[in-house]
Amino acid sequence: MENLIKKLVYAFGPSSKENSVKEIIKEEISKEVDEVYEDNFGNLVGHIKGPNKSLMLAAHMDQIGVMVTNIDKNGFLRIGSIGGLRKSFLVGQKILFEGGVEGFVYYENKESPWEAKDQKLEKFYVDIGATDRTSAKKLVQIGTEGIYKPSFSANGTRITAPALDDRIGCAVAIQLLKNLRRKKIKYDLYVVFTVQEEIGIKGAKVSSYDITPDIGIALDVTDAGDTPESPAISLALGKGPAIKIMDAGMIASKKIRTLLIDTAKKNKIPYQLEVLTGGTTDAAAIQITKTGVESAAVSISTRYVHTPGETLDMTDVENAVKLLKKFIEK
C-alpha cells in the first residue's frame, strides 16, 4: 500500500480542488466495482450492487490548505485558511500553489514568529521570489489555492507526510475494494470519496442524501495521545484502528460500533476505542441524513494532524482494511 499512499499524498487536492486525487482513485477502483460515478457536487462513488441493506463508506479526498487573499506592491502574498490550518506550524514551510509555483512562509519581522503570543494569519506572508505585484500576478492570482509542499518518508512501519488526513482513509477504501470477495459481500455497498470535508463535511451531506444508506461508516484519521506531554487521549500508534465512540460532532451508533468491536475480537484484530472532545468526520453528516442513518467511524491514530508532518503506523492501516473486510463479508 505504501506506493498507493505516496501517490495520493503527492496529488494536489485542497478543498474544492480534488480532481487530481479523484483521477488516481478512479484508475485504482474502476475494475473493482460495478459502477463508478461522480455526483453533482464532485463526490466520487464506487458501487458494488448487493441484495441487502445499503452500506456507505466515506473517506474524504480534500486536504487543508491556503488561498491567496492579497498581493502587495513588493510581490509578497497574504493568505487565508482553507480548513483548520494550524498557524504555529506555518513559519518556514514551503507552500505549493496550483500551477506549480512554490513559496516560503514567514511572519512579519517586527514580531518574532517564535515569540508572538497571538499569531494572526494576516501577519503571515508567502515569498514566491517575485520582485513586485506585477511579476507576482504572472505566477498566482487572488484566490489561487496552495498546500504544504508534498513529501513522504517511511521508517519501518511509520510513515510521515502532509495530507495523510485523509488520503490514508482513501487508501484504506481503495485497498478494501481490492481485497473484498465479491460473492461474500453482505451489503449494497457504496464507497464514497468525498469532497470539501475540511470546510464543513459538505460532500458527505450531499452524497448521503442521494444514497440514503442504512448504515454509514467514515474512514478518517484521529489524534494520537502517545507523544510527550500530549493531551489525555487514549490512542497510540501501532495499537490497531480506532473504533469511534464519540467526537465533537457525533456519538456513534451503539449497534454499529458494537458490531465492529465484535468483528475485531472474533478475528483477533487489534483495535482501540476513540473518544474525542474536538473535531468530527463525515459520519456526523451521514448520521443525520433524512430520517437518520446508523453511523460509526473507523479511524487511524495520527500524530500532528493538520501539519506537514502527519505520522502514523502502517500496521493500523492494514488492520483497518482487515476489520472492514470482515465486517462487510460477515
Residue numbers annotated as active site: 197
C-alpha span between 329 and 240 (Å, rounded) = 20
C-alpha span between 325 and 168 (Å, rounded) = 16
Residue in the block written with cell 487573499: 69
C-alpha cell, 2: 505504501
First-last CA distance in the chain: 24
- Which class for 297: exposed (0-12), middle (13-18), buried (19 or more C-beta within 10 A)? buried
C-alpha cell, 47: 458501487
* Type of residue numbered 133: R
C-alpha cell, 189: 455497498
Give the side-chain half-sphere CA count within 13 A for 110: 1
* Type of residue numbered 80: G
Give how far the C-alpha of residue 300 lies from the chain's centroid of Cα atoms, to the nearest Å.
10
C-alpha span between 67 and 199 (Å, rounded) = 13
C-alpha span between 221 and 320 (Å, rounded) = 11
For residue 150, give Cα distances in angstroms to 16, 47, 308. 18, 30, 8
Given strand 188-194, what is the order of strands in its sheet? 35-38, 44-48, 188-194, 54-60, 215-223, 294-302, 242-246, 272-275
Measured torsion, CA atoms of residues 120, 220, 244, 183, in degrees rounded to the nearest 10: 170
